[in-house]
Amino acid sequence: MGESEKHSSDKDDYVPLKEQEEWRDVTPIPQEEEPNTVCPIAYTDEYSDMMSYLRAVMAKREVSQRALDLTGRVIEVNPGHYTVWMYRKQLVEELGTDSENELDWVAEISEIHHKNYQLWHYREALISRLLDQKTAEALTQDQLVRHPVIRRELLFATNAIDGDSKNFHAWSYRQWIVRTYGIWDQELVFVDTMINEDVRNNSAWNQRYFVLMGNGSGRPEKNPDSPLEDSLVDREIAYAVEKIKLAPNNESPWSYITGLLLRHAPARLYNTLLPKLQALAAEGSGYASSITTTPMYWSALVDIYEHQAKDLPDQASVLLDMAKDACDLLAFDHDPMRGKYWEFRKSQLCAGTTG
């Protein structure tokens, strides 16, 4: 929807397959005559023709170069055809098609169809065959990152991200490569680069969390609730606060650090993060005034005070009052569009019902 479509041949030059010598031996299978159709598409003659021949070769599972070429032409126009990808995969395997060429072809398709799901999974399948995990296990992270297959894939994903910095598929694909081949270290570097390029890129921030939870140095992946080393927590708090200073109204670092601490080091919310935020607010220079006008700051305070109240019951009533005040400020001054939500949040604090 809204994607540009490159037609594989100019309409004037198009010769129907039924008039081509090469296809003489094939009986095309037309789409059924449907007097009772729903959402019918006004197919071009070219599309109808291609599809009739595709149906014919798929029906008898023909393995040939002409079938492979035909799948390419269909996918170019209709990458959502969900069985043709599997058929193409079989053809590539049985014909022994050169993987480089095939990966190039997938790259071409991805230029036209940025949001198509199937092509990424198709690529994943190709790569899994090219470099299996057993072979990869014998290599170091350094060697893996330099391995032509992996280097190429990282570049492919990076190019997609260059085109659309938040391309959901590209970031997911990177997670698959990193996890499958264990190349966690380079991913942290990549994440840092992307955050420096655009501090508001939430996909990059999420990827940062992914790397932290990941399989660094051969350890098993962390559980959602597992604690993090103190030094790591220190580093991440400092990192997030640095980025908050760049654009205080940017949701990503706020969500990142409060979410991370809530899960893995909740006491650090009030022991370490809170003093840093308060210091920023007190500082009286440019970003300090913007930090106290951003809803993110007050929203973070609500979460921090709430948690602190749980851990320090003798101070709970004072802390909860501060949290409720923050909710009022949000509801009436800093984030009135979400007024009803902040009143609800306040009521949760009164009742102690956030669990």
State which of positions 331-350 bind other proteins (CB under 8 A): 337-341, 344-345, 348
Determine contact, residues 60/29, Cβ cutoff 8 Å: no
To the nearest 10°, report the CA torsion of 240, 241, 247, 253: 30
Nearer to other proteins, 124 or 311 (CB): 124
Angle at CA of residue 260, ends 255 and 263, nearest 5°? 120
Contact call for residue 159 and other proteins (CB under 8 A): no
Q: Which amino acid is at 52?
A: S
DSSP 331: I
Q: How far is the CB of 287 from other proteins (least distance, A)?
A: 19
Stretch that binds other proteins, among 16-24, 76-84, 91-99, 232-240 (CB under 8 A): 76-84
What's the burial of 83, exposed, middle or buried (CB within 10 Å: 0-12/13-18/19+)?
Answer: exposed
118 near other proteins (CB under 8 A): yes
Taking the C-alpha atoms of residue 144 and residue 160, their distance in angstroms, rounded to an integer, is: 21
Q: Which of 6, 60, 89, 115 is catalytic?
A: 115
168 in contact with other proteins (CB under 8 A): yes
Residue 33 or 314: which CB sits closer to other proteins?
33
Tell me which stretch binds other proteins (CB under 8 A): 16-24, 35-43, 230-238, 285-293: 35-43
Using CB under 8 A as the binding rule, the residues of this chain from 82 to 101 that contact other proteins are: 82-83, 85-87
Nearest CA to 149 out of 191, 105, 109, 103 is that of 103
Under rule CB under 8 A, residue 12 binds other proteins? no
Residue placing its CB nearer to other proteins in the complex, 220 or 284: 220
Contacts of 92 (CB under 8 A, 6+ apart): 68, 102, 126
Least separation in angstroms between residue 136's CB and other proteins is: 18
18 binds other proteins (CB under 8 A): no
Asked if 276 touches other proteins (CB under 8 A), the answer is: no
- Comparing CB distances to other proteins, the nearer of 84 and 280 is 84
* Among positions 180, 259, 274, 322, the unique one binding other proteins when judged by CB under 8 A: 259
Residue from 53, 105, 171, 305 touching other proteins (CB under 8 A): that is 171
140 binds other proteins (CB under 8 A): no
* Per CB under 8 A, 185 contacts other proteins: no
Q: How far apart are CA 121 and CA 86, in angstroms?
A: 11
Nearer residue to other proteins within complex by CB, 118 or 139: 118
Locate all alpha helices (DSSP H) within 214-338, ordered by sequence. Answer: 230-246, 251-264, 267-268, 274-282, 286-293, 295-311, 316-329
- Judged by CB under 8 A, the number of residues near other proteins is 79
245 in catalytic set: no
- For the beta carbon of residue 300, count every other beta carbon within 10 angstroms: 21
Per CB under 8 A, contacts with other proteins among 187-216 are 200-203, 205-207, 209-210, 213-214
Q: At 61, give phi and psi (nearest 5°).
A: 55, 45
**Angle between the 168-181 and 148-163 helix axes, to the nearest 10 degrees?**
160
Choice from 11, 12, 25, 42 touching other proteins (CB under 8 A): 42
Least separation in angstroms between residue 335's CB and other proteins is 9
Query: Should residue 125 be labelled a site residue for other proteins when binding is judged by CB under 8 A?
Result: yes
Residues 6+ apart with CB under 8 A from 237: 257, 261, 268, 272, 273, 276
Residues 284-323 that bind other proteins (CB under 8 A): 299
**What's 265's DSSP letter?**
-
Query: Which residues are the active-site residues?
Result: 115
